[in-house]
Amino acid sequence: MKRTRDAESRERDRAKTAERMKNVLENIFVVVLAFYPLRHIAWGLDLWDTGYNYANFEYMGTRHMDPMWLFSTYLANGVGSLISKLPNAGSLLGMNLYTGLFVSILALTGFLFSCRVLKMPLWIAFVGEIAAVSLCWCPTALLYNYLTYVLLLGCVLLLYQGLTREKKWCLFGAGVCLGANVLVRFSNLPEAVLILAVWAYDLILWREHRKTSGEEGEKKSFRSGLLRHTLWCLMGYLSALAVLFGYIHLRYGLENYAEGIRRLFAMTDKATDYKAASMLMGMINTYVENMYWVKRIGVLAAGGMILLLPVGWMQARLDRSPKRAGGGHAGAVKSGARFLMGAIRIVFSVLLGLGMIGWLYFRGFCSWAFYSYDSILRPGVLFLMLTMLIAAVRILYPKSPKEEKLIGGLILLVVLVTSIGSNNGVYPSLNNLFLAAPYTLWQSFRFLRYVSGMRIRRMEMSLLPVKGLLTAFLVLCLFQFGMFGVSFVFAEGTGVQDPDSYVENNQVLERIRMSEEKARWMTELSAYVEENGLQGQEVILYGNIPALSYYLQMPSAFNPWCDLDSYSAEQMKLDLAATAEEIRSQGRRPAIIVERNYVTYLEGGSSALRELLKSDSKTLRAIEEDGKWPMLADFMEQNGYRPDYSNGKFTVYR
C-alpha cells in the first residue's frame, strides 16, 4: 500500500515538474515572439511606402492627403494618427517600434491560440510563428495591411470560439471585426466570405445530429441554428459599419466619403492592375505557374513509392511466412531481414529528400540572396498550396473532428481572401500566415508521426518517400524563411543592402542605419532644409520619393505620392490649379522636390536620360510615357519656379 502511495506521489511530482517546464518554455517563447518582430526597427531607409504612410498619419486630413486614400483606408490612418501622438513617435525609430508591435500582437495571439485552444505542441506553434513573422516582407508602416490582419485573425478566433462553444457574443464580435475591416481598407469587403465557414459548420452539426434524431426535427433545428448564427454575425457587422460611418458622416459628410470611394473604383482606368479580374488572375497565375514544381515533386513521390514496392512485398512475405519450431537461427535471420528492409526504406527516403533539395537549388527554385524576394517566393507559394491541400483534406476526411474541419475551412478562406483586393498577387497571403504556418507544420507533423502507409486494393504502399520529401521541403522552407527574416528589410520594392551609415543632422532619422549613399543624400538635403527653414512648409514631391514629406517634416500640398497610377492625371490637374490659385491669392508657395531622373529628362530630354539610365529601359519608358510630369513642369514654369539646390538624388525648386 505504501509503495502504491509512493509511486502516485512520484507521478504527481513528475507531472508538476513537467507542467512547470512547459510554463517556463511557453514564457520564453512568448518573450521571443514579442521582440523578434522588432529586430529591424532601426534598419534601412525606404523612400516609398514607409515614410509615405507615416506622413499620412502625421498630416491626416483632406488638406494634405488625397481624399480617396484617406477614406479608403480611414481606420488605418486614424489609428496611425493616434500612434503618431505617442511619446517618442516623432522619429522613424519610434514609429517603427509602435507599428512593429502589431506584428508582435499577431504572433503572440496566433501562438497562444494554437497551443492553448488547438492544443498544438508548443515547439510547433513557436516555429510556425517565427516562420510567419520572418515572411512579413511588408513594412509595418502599412497599417492598412497589419490592422487588416489583426482584425481578420480576431474574426477567425471569435468565429471558432463562438461556433464550437456556442457563444453569441463571440459571433457578434466576429461580425464587428469584419465590419470594422471595411473601414481599415475598403478592398476588405470580400472578407465577408468567412460566413461560409459558419454555414458549413452548421451543416456539419446537422449531419452529425441527424444520425441520432428525427430527420424533420433536425432540419428545423439546422435552419434555426443557421439563422441564429448568421444573424449574430450580421448584427456585429452592421453595428460596426453604422458606428464608423456615423462618425465619418459627422466629421466629413458621407457625400465626401462616397466621392473618395467613387474615385477608388475609377482609378482602374489607369491603374489596370487594380481591376478585380487583373488581381484575381494575378493570384491564380502564380499558383498555376508553380504547378511546374508541384508536378515534378509529385513524380518523385510516386516514383519513390513504386521503387519501394519490391521491398514492401518482400517484407510482407516475411511477415506471412510460418514460424518453425526450434528455428532460433531462422528467426534471427528473419528479424535481420526485416531490419534490413526497414533500413533500406528509410535510407532511400532520406536520400530522395536530399536529392530533391539539391535538384531544387540547382534548378533555381530559390536563391540564397536573402535580401530579395527570390529567396522565398517559390517556396512560399508551394507552402501556401500545401496549407490549402492539408486544409481541404482535413475538411473532406470523414473521420476529422468537426472542430478540425472548422479551423481548416477558416484557414483556407483566410489564405485565399487575404490576397483579394491587392495588386501584389499572393504576397499578402505570405505576409499573413500567423495561423496557417503553425497549422501546416502541426498537420505535417501528425502525418509524419502517425500515418504509416496506404493500401491500394491488396497492395500495401509505403509512404516513407512522401514523408522524406515532405520533411525535406519543410526544412528547405524553414531555412529560406528564417534567413529571409534575418536579412530582409523593405526599401523601394527590394531589400536593404549595406546598412552601415547614419544621418546625423535629422531628428526623424536619428539612429537609423542605411546605405552610405542614402545617408549622404539625406544628410545633404536635411542640411539644406534646416538652413532655409523649410520644416513645416508645404511641399510637392515627384519621382517616387513620397517619404521625404515625413523625413523632412514638410506636409504635402495635396498628395505626397503624385506619380502613383492610382492618382489620376485629371485629379492632379485640379490640385495643381487649386495650388496655383493659392499662390496668387495667398502667396503660399510650396517647395517642389523632384527625383534626379525627372530633372535630367526635363533639362536634356530623352537622349540625356537614356545616357544616364543606360540599360534601365523600364524606368526610361515610364518617365517618357508619364503624362503627369509635363503638367508639373508646366506648373513650375508658369509660377516662376527655379532650381535652388541639387545633389546626386534630389533637386529642390523654389
Tell me the per-residue pLDDT of 355-383, one tens digit each, with 9 for 90 and over.
999 999 999 999 999 999 999 999 999 99
Q: Is the CB of residue 29 less than 8 Å from the CB of residue 107?
A: no
CB atoms within 10 A of CB 238: 13
Whether 315 is covered by a domain: the verdict is: yes
CA 560 – CA 264 distance, rounded (Å): 17
Using 50, 70 and 90 to split pLDDT, how confident is the model at 458? low
Q: pLDDT of 71-101, one tens digit each? A: 999 999 999 999 999 999 999 999 999 999 9
How confident is the model at residue 498, as a pLDDT? 82
Q: Residue 55: CB partners within 8 Å, gap ≥ 6?
A: 64, 546, 547, 549, 550, 555, 556, 560
Strand partners, 556: 539
CB atoms within 10 A of CB 112: 17
How confident is the model at residue 472, as a pLDDT? 96
Q: Is the CB of residue 376 less than 8 Å from the CB of residue 384?
A: no
Using 50, 70 and 90 to split pLDDT, how confident is the model at 463? confident
Cα torsion through 330, 331, 337, 341, rounded to 10: 150
How confident is the model at residue 377, as a pLDDT? 95
Residue 104 has pLDDT above 90, yes or no: yes
Whether 501 is covered by a domain: the verdict is: no
Task: Looking at the structure, tell me whether residues 309 and 214 fall in a common domain.
Answer: no
- Provide the number of structural domains found in the chain: 3
Residue 455 has pLDDT above 80, yes or no: no
Which residue in the block uniquely carries the three cell numbers 507615416?
54
Q: Residue 500: CB partners within 8 Å, gap ≥ 6?
A: 513, 515, 516
**Mean pLDDT along residues 219-232:** 79
Task: Looking at the structure, tell me whether residues 483 and 342 fall in a common domain.
Answer: yes
Task: Looking at the structure, tell me whether residues 441 and 328 fall in a common domain.
Answer: yes
Task: Looking at the structure, tell me whether residues 206 and 315 fall in a common domain.
Answer: no
**Mean pLDDT along residues 322-338:** 60
Task: Looking at the structure, tell me whether residues 232 and 299 fall in a common domain.
Answer: no
Q: pLDDT of 398-448, one tens digit each? A: 889 999 999 999 999 999 999 987 888 899 999 999 999 999 999 999 999
- Is the model more confident about 6 or about 408? 408
| Domain boundary residue, one of 237, 270, 303 | 270
CA 380 – CA 367 distance, rounded (Å): 13
Whether 411 is covered by a domain: the verdict is: no
Task: Looking at the structure, tell me whether residues 208 and 252 fall in a common domain.
Answer: yes
Task: Looking at the structure, tell me whether residues 461 and 564 fall in a common domain.
Answer: no
Whether 289 is covered by a domain: the verdict is: yes
Tell me which residue range forms the domain holding 337: 284-397+427-493
Q: Is the CB of residue 597 less than 8 Å from the CB of residue 543?
A: yes
CA 545 – CA 596 distance, rounded (Å): 11
CB atoms within 10 A of CB 433: 31
Task: Looking at the structure, tell me whether residues 265 and 292 fall in a common domain.
Answer: no
How confident is the model at residue 493, as a pLDDT? 79
| Domain boundary residue, one of 244, 270, 296 | 270
Pick from 442, 439, 447: nearest CA to 468? 447
Using 50, 70 and 90 to split pLDDT, how confident is the model at 271? low
Using 50, 70 and 90 to split pLDDT, how confident is the model at 582? very high
Using 50, 70 and 90 to split pLDDT, how confident is the model at 625? confident
How confident is the model at residue 619, as a pLDDT? 81
Task: Looking at the structure, tell me whether residues 290 and 263 fall in a common domain.
Answer: no
Task: Looking at the structure, tell me whether residues 199 and 296 fall in a common domain.
Answer: no
Whether 416 is covered by a domain: the verdict is: no
CA 97 – CA 79 distance, rounded (Å): 15
Buried b (16+ CB within 10 A) or exposed e, 618-646: eebeebeebebbeebbebbeeeebeeebb
Pick from 110, 116, 37: nearest CA to 434? 110
How confident is the model at residue 149, as a pLDDT? 97
How confident is the model at residue 319, as a pLDDT? 62
Find the helix or strand (DSSP H, E) in which 591 lies: strand 591-595
Q: Decide: helix, strand or coil at residue 653.
A: strand
Q: Is the CB of residue 170 less than 8 Å from the CB of residue 158?
A: yes
Q: Which contacts (CB < 8 Å, 24+ apart) does range 444-450 have?
A: 444/386, 444/390, 444/470, 444/474, 445/121, 445/124
**Mean pLDDT along residues 11-28:** 86
Residue 584 has pLDDT above 70, yes or no: yes
Task: Looking at the structure, tell me whether residues 315 and 461 fall in a common domain.
Answer: yes
Whether 412 is covered by a domain: the verdict is: no
How confident is the model at residue 59, as a pLDDT? 94
Q: How far is CA 70 from its chain centroid? A: 22
Q: pLDDT of 482-519, one tens digit each? A: 999 999 999 987 888 888 999 999 999 999 999 999 99
Q: pLDDT of 141-168, one tens digit each? A: 999 999 999 999 999 999 999 999 989 9
CB atoms within 10 A of CB 214: 10
The pLDDT mean for the chain works out to 89
Task: Looking at the structure, tell me whether residues 235 and 314 fall in a common domain.
Answer: no
Supply φ then ψ for residue 532, to 5 degrees. Answer: -100, 5
How confident is the model at residue 324, as a pLDDT? 53
Using 50, 70 and 90 to split pLDDT, how confident is the model at 648? confident
Residue 549 has pLDDT above 90, yes or no: yes
How confident is the model at residue 152, as a pLDDT? 97
Query: Out of 97-111, 284-298, 311-325, 477-491, which region has the weakest mean confidence (pLDDT)?
Result: 311-325
Residue 19 has pLDDT above 90, yes or no: no
Whether 68 is covered by a domain: the verdict is: no
How confident is the model at residue 270, as a pLDDT? 65
Find the helix or strand (DSSP H, E) in which 555 lies: none
Using 50, 70 and 90 to split pLDDT, how confident is the model at 124? very high
How confident is the model at residue 645, as a pLDDT? 94
CB atoms within 10 A of CB 326: 7
CB atoms within 10 A of CB 148: 25
Whether 421 is covered by a domain: the verdict is: no
Question: Among residues of the chain, what percentage have pLDDT more than 90?
Answer: 67
Output the pTM of the full model: 0.93
How confident is the model at residue 159, as a pLDDT? 97
